[in-house]
């Protein structure tokens, strides 16, 4: 039997942390403080790296220094002779177990430990297990790997050229670096509109090449796992940083052949996820194998550089956008061609469905006659991508593309970008709206949302101030240039409807189970996995709202597959749209059961009761009512219930969403750019989001703050470039810069509320909206500032060097470091 270090569990030794410090206990929705912060602000959270098991060993991964090389020999004898080393696992060891390769979310294969070749810098080559992590790291140096260097494929734009080395020569029939071709929309209809626009004297086609650079979500806690295979019971307990505990359990069962009921995946507090913790990494598999081999628990935690260099990156999309537009500014059609750099293993979810399929929302928030998009995926000698950083390979790039294109169109037409957007936005009477690529947007009032943002920003006055600055600049005064950038985005979140997507054959429905104890306190089990989003609070609020009890009386259990119902986890802002819906539905089931119990207590028919102010009340007689606590006690008593009605107040449900939810937002960014140094200052940022009904407005605003900071990072600072040898130039936080409060303005938030018509409480997801919507607003602002220099487009990250070069008419290529 193993046990965890009890003193680290919040509440065990410090009952105070369980007490919620609100003067007045709220009921239901509202900005109550986060329950989980009682432990987080005291430094009492329990992260994966905090888990300590008796007799635990430590693993470390040997990584490839080269981007592309054949492995000719691996000698582990010196490492094995190290007095503190228990085992050294290589690709050959795993091959013997049939585990050298594992499937990815796209049904591609990925090496767990390299056998034939290494395919990116930082790839996993061997795994050492030792008494402590220092000995494990020391022993890595004792492993002798012989490499025969090969030419690496680094420039995605050349990956398909004849004569380019083949990255995936391990795959049968793979003679080049092509992975997939995916398309969406009606190509013939789109070409027709473009041909018309080209021929008509009062129409035109606007084109731009736009890169969304490779970025990394860089969560606070890196990825890791503690595998504990109990040799007596044969049960594997895996403590791990996962956003999707149930999905991981099923995948371990399917891939490693372990019986699923003998696997328990526990994901305690994980220090952020941002999609980085959706995939299964080689280190997890190695820890499991190591625990089986040594018969002891084995912990593996990667360090910061390992996380940045080898785990799911996001983006790396080379996009060509074309817009057919009238000279008056009516956008008729959009055509997009994308080259997607997926690295050495295609690890995004299935490109045909989810999420590359989500690039299909590239039509944005506009009413188009036609649209078509083609995406080609290629292999390169870089780390593989994933479902990361506000979902790469889907909406984030699509929104950036269309919102950048709209500004390019405005530039070419000499039109105000706000006016151009207003002219083309979907009208409220068009909802539910079927887009040119077949997506059904559920609800929204886009012109209103944009109007609210423009008013909040004081758009007219800003333009007047800008004109004044430009005059002074032209008169030779040394002033910073002012830029105003807009974006209007439509998100598509809440994966998702069973017909449209699945991952490795699993549907996308989420379960919820709710137990109300005799005293009226409740425990909710969900499959969503909080990484910092405040689920313990908001999900308790949903139950509280439905049952008329306090959120403090609802305990939310997640992150343990032995204790919670099956579901696909948290990513793609799906927790509120799917698990949140399941929670509302299961609570309503309990409420209906409570109605029968209350009717029996009050000796009336259930139809005579009304749900009023959190109580079941006899219609027209406010004196005759029962609270959930009274009903719960009765439900567990000897009260004689009608024939066929079960006692107690427990229920389960599985929610299979009928559609995604489509939040939207209008953002306005104001920047000051120093044309002499290229330095950009984000002066103001106005964000008006519509995520339907807000359960906890404070948490929603926190989510938006985080996403806006992400946007500042991506637009101005981040971006992982490679040199032509394949050296990753973003492998530490000295090179890969995260935004701090110094780079961020004081955010100015606003809201509009258009409930989702198909969601039980009208809520839409919000977790990624700002990450998706802010980069185009910031880039549009910087490019707008550079208008006096004739700049039409420049790629992120808009570092001082990139801005300065753009102003000189020599835009930088930001994905490659060419020396």
Q: Which of 329, 765, 775, 797 binds ligand MCN (CB under 6 A)?
A: 765
Residue 799: contacted member of ligand CUN, ligand MCN, none (CB under 5 to 8 Å, by partner type): none
Query: Whole-number minimum distance, CB 175 to ligand MCN, in Å?
Result: 36
The only residue of 115, 177, 311, 573 in contact with ligand MCN, by rule CB under 6 A: 573
Torsions phi, psi for 95 (to 5 deg)? -60, -35
Q: How far is CA 426 from CA 185, 210, 479, 762, in A?
A: 18, 25, 39, 20
Among 243, 350, 600, 756, interactor with ligand CUN by CB under 6 A: 243
Residue 227 interacting entry, from ligand MCN, ligand CUN, none, C-beta within 5 to 8 Å by type: none
Residue in 311, 703, 752, 814 binding ligand MCN, rule: CB under 6 A:
703
In 3D space, the residue among 234, 233, 254, 250 whose CA is nearest the CA of residue 242 turns out to be 250
3-state helix, strand, coil in the chain (%, to 5): 30, 25, 45
* Strand pairing report for 317-326 and 85-90: unpaired
Q: Residue 750 binds which one of ligand MCN, ligand CUN, none, with CB within 5 to 8 A depending on kind?
A: none
Residue 343 binds what, of ligand MCN, ligand CUN, none (CB under 5 to 8 Å, by partner type)? none
Of 501 and 597, CB closest to ligand CUN: 501
Closest CA to 165 of 155, 151, 179, 178: 151
Q: Is 385 in the site for ligand CUN (CB under 6 A)?
A: no
CA distances from 4 to 57, 132, 626 (A): 14, 18, 42
Residue 414: CB atoms within 10 Å: 7
Which of 388, 481, 501, 770 lies at the binding interface for ligand CUN (CB under 6 A)? 388
In the shown chain, the binding pattern of residues 267 to 296 toward ligand CUN, with x for contact by CB under 6 A and - for none, equals ------xxx--x------------------
CB of 306 to ligand MCN, least distance (A): 19
687 in contact with ligand MCN (CB under 6 A) = no
CB 396 within 8 A of CB 213: no
**Residue (168 or 246) nearer to ligand MCN, CB:** 246
Asked if residue 223 binds ligand CUN (CB under 6 A), the reply is: no
Beta bridge partners of 94: none
How many C-beta neighbours within 10 Å does residue 337 have?
A: 16
Question: CB under 5 to 8 A by kind: which of ligand CUN, ligand MCN, none does 376 bind?
Answer: none
Smallest gap, in angstroms, from Cβ of residue 245 to ligand CUN?
14
C-alpha 82/C-alpha 86 separation (Å) is 9
Among the listed residues 270, 229, 223, 266, the one whose alpha carbon sits nearest the alpha carbon of residue 245: 266
Q: Does 768 bind ligand MCN (CB under 6 A)?
A: yes
Minimum CB separation of residue 493 from ligand CUN in Å reads 8
Residue span binding ligand MCN (CB under 6 A) among the ranges 271-279, 317-325, 424-432, 723-731: 271-279
> Which residue's CB is nearer to ligand MCN, number 449 or number 570?
570
Indicate which of ligand CUN, ligand MCN, none lies near residue 713 (CB less than 5 to 8 Å, by partner kind).
Answer: none
Q: Compute the least distance from the CB of residue 521 to ligand MCN, in Å.
A: 21
CB 313 within 8 A of CB 216: yes
Q: How far is CA 429 from the centre of its chain?
A: 31
Q: Nearest approach, Cβ of 216 to ligand CUN (angstroms)?
A: 11
Interaction with ligand MCN in 375-404: which residues (CB under 6 A)? 390
Q: Closer to ligand MCN at the Cβ: 672 or 710?
A: 710
CA distance 657 to 768: 19
Question: How many of the other CB atoms lie within 10 Å of CB of 415?
Answer: 16
Per CB under 6 A, contacts with ligand MCN among 217-246 are 219
| 247 is an interface residue for ligand MCN by CB under 6 A | no
Q: Does 245 bind ligand CUN (CB under 6 A)?
A: no
Token couple for 533? 């989003």
- Segment near ligand MCN (CB under 6 A); pick from 15-23, 47-55, 172-180, 525-533: 525-533
The site that binds ligand MCN (CB under 6 A) totals a number of residues, namely: 36
Going by the DSSP 8-state scheme, the letter that residue 692 receives in this structure is B
Residue whose C-beta lies closest to ligand CUN? 275
The binder of 538, among ligand CUN, ligand MCN, none, by C-beta within 5 to 8 A per type, is ligand MCN
Cα–Cα distance for residue pair 208/320, rounded to 1 Å = 6
Which residues contact residue 477 at a Cβ distance below 8 angstroms, ignoring those fewer than 6 apart?
none
Which residue among 60, 390, 601, 781 contacts ligand CUN (CB under 6 A)? 390
Nearest one of 343, 212, 353 to 719, comparing CA atoms: 212
653 and 585 in contact (C-beta within 8 Å)?
Answer: yes
Question: Is the CB of 284 or the CB of 354 nearer to ligand CUN?
Answer: 354
Q: For residue 481, count other CB atoms closer than 10 A to its CB.
A: 23
Q: Note whether 389 binds ligand CUN by CB under 6 A.
A: yes
- Does the protein bind ligand CUN through residue 212 (CB under 6 A)? no
| Binding of ligand MCN by 571 (CB under 6 A) | yes
Q: Burial letters for 709-734: b for 16+ Cβ neighbours within 10 Å, e otherwise?
A: bbbbbbbbbbbbbbeeebbbebbeee
The entry of ligand CUN, ligand MCN, none that residue 387 binds, CB within 5 to 8 Å by partner kind: ligand CUN
279 binds ligand MCN (CB under 6 A): no
How much is the CA Rg of the chain, to the nearest whole Å?
28
* Minimum gap (Å) between residue 529 Cβ and ligand CUN: 10
Site for ligand MCN in 532-551 (CB under 6 A): 532-535, 538
* Residue 354 makes contact with ligand CUN by CB under 6 A: no
DSSP string, 245-267: HHHHHHHHHHHH---GGGEEEE-
Closest separation in Å from C-beta 348 to ligand MCN = 14
Choices 284-292, 546-554, 569-577, 792-800; region in contact with ligand MCN by CB under 6 A: 569-577
Nearer to ligand CUN by Cβ, of 365 and 530: the residue is 530
168 binds ligand MCN (CB under 6 A): no
- Helices 417-424, 395-413: axis angle to 10 degrees equals 120
Long-range contacts of 455-464 (CB under 8 A, 24+ apart): 456/668, 456/686, 456/688, 456/748, 456/750, 457/668, 457/670, 457/684, 457/686, 457/748, 459/418, 459/484, 459/668, 462/670, 463/416
By CB under 6 A, name the binding residues for ligand CUN: 243, 273-275, 278, 387-391, 571-572, 768
By CB under 6 A, name the binding residues for ligand MCN: 219, 272-275, 390, 531-535, 538, 570-576, 580, 691-696, 699-700, 703, 706, 763-768
């Amino acid at each position: 039997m193993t046990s965890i270090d009890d003193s680290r569990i919040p509440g065990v030794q410090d009952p105070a942390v369980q007490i919620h410090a609100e003067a007045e206990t709220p009921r239901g929705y509202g900005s109550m403080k986060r329950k989980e912060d009682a432990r987080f602000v005291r430094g009492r959270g329990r992260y994966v790296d905090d888990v300590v098991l008796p007799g635990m060993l430590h693993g470390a991964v040997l990584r490839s220094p080269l981007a592309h090389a054949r492995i000719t020999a691996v000698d582990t004898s010196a490492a094995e002779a190290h007095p503190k080393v228990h085992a050294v696992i290589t690709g050959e060891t795993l091959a013997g177990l049939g585990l050298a390769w594992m499937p990815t979310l796209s049904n591609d294969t990925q090496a767990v430990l390299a056998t034939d070749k290494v395919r990116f810098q930082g790839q996993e080559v061997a795994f050492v297990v030792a008494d402590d992590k220092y000995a494990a790291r020391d022993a890595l140096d004792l492993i002798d790997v012989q490499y025969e260097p090969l030419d690496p494929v680094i420039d995605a734009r050349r990956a398909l050229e004849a004569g380019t080395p083949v990255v995936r020569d391990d795959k049968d029939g793979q003679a080049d670096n092509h992975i997939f071709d995916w398309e969406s929309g009606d190509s013939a209809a789109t070409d027709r509109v473009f041909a018309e626009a080209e021929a008509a004297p009062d129409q035109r086609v606007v084109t731009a090449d736009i890169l969304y650079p490779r970025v990394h979500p860089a969560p606070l806690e890196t990825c890791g796992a503690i595998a504990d295979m109990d040799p007596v019971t044969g049960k594997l307990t895996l403590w791990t940083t996962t956003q999707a505990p149930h999905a991981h359990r099923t995948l371990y069962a399917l891939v490693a052949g372990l019986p699923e009921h003998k696997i328990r995946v526990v994901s305690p507090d994980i220090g952020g996820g941002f999609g980085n913790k959706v995939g299964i990494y080689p280190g997890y598999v190695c820890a499991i194998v190591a625990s089986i081999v040594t018969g002891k628990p084995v912990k593996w935690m990667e360090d910061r550089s390992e996380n940045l260099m080898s785990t799911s990156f996001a983006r790396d999309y080379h996009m060509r956008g074309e817009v057919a537009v009238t000279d008056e500014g009516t956008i008729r059609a959009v055509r997009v061609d994308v080259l997607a750099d997926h690295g050495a293993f295609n690890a995004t979810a299935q490109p045909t469905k989810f999420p590359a399929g989500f690039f299909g929302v590239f039509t944005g928030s506009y009413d188009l006659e036609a649209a078509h998009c083609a995406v080609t995926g290629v292999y390169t000698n870089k780390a593989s991508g994933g479902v990361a950083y506000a979902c790469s390979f889907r909406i984030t790039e699509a929104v950036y593309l269309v919102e950048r294109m709209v500004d390019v169109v405005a530039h070419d037409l000499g039109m105000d970008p706000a006016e151009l957007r207003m002219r083309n936005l979907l009208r409220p009477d068009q909802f539910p709206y079927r887009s040119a690529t077949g997506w059904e947007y559920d609800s929204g009032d886009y012109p209103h949302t944009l109007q609210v943002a423009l008013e909040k920003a004081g758009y007219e006055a800003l333009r007047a101030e800008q004109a004044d600055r430009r005059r002074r600049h032209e008169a030779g005064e040394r002033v910073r240039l002012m830029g105003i950038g807009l974006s209007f985005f439509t998100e598509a979140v809440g994966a998702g409807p069973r017909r449209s997507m699945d991952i490795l054959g699993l549907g996308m429905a989420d379960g919820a189970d709710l137990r109300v104890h005799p005293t009226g306190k409740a425990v909710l089990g969900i499959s969503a996995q909080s990484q910092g989003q405040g689920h313990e609070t908001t999900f308790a609020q949903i139950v509280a709202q439905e049952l008329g009890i306090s959120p403090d009386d609802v305990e939310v259990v997640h992150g343990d597959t032995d204790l919670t119902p099956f579901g696909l986890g948290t990513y793609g802002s799906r927790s509120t749209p799917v698990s949140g819906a399941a929670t509302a539905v299961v609570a309503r089931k309990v409420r209906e059961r409570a109605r029968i119990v209350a009717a029996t207590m009050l000796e009336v028919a259930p139809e005579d009761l009304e749900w009023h102010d959190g109580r079941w009340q006899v219609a027209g007689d406010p004196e005759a009512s029962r609270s959930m606590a009274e009903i719960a006690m009765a439900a567990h008593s000897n009260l004689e219930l009608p024939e066929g009605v079960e006692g107690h107040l427990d229920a389960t449900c599985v929610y299979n969403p009928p559609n995604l939810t489509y939040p939207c937002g209008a953002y306005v960014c104001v920047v000051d750019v120093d044309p002499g140094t290229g330095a950009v200052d984000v002066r103001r940022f106005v964000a008006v989001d519509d995520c339907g009904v807000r359960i906890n407005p404070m948490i929603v605003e926190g989510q938006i703050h985080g996403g806006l900071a992400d946007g500042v990072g991506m637009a101005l600072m981040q971006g992982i470039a490679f040199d032509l040898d394949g050296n990753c130039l973003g492998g530490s936080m000295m090179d890969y810069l995260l935004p701090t409060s110094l780079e961020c303005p004081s955010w100015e938030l606003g809201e509009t509320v258009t409930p989702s018509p198909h969601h039980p409480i009208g809520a839409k997801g919000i977790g990624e909206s700002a990450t998706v919507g802010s980069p185009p607003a910031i880039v549009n602002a910087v490019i707008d500032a550079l208008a006096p220099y004739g700049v039409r487009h420049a790629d992120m990250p808009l570092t001082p060097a990139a801005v300065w070069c753009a102003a000189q008419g020599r835009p930088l290529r930001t994905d490659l470091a060419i020396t």
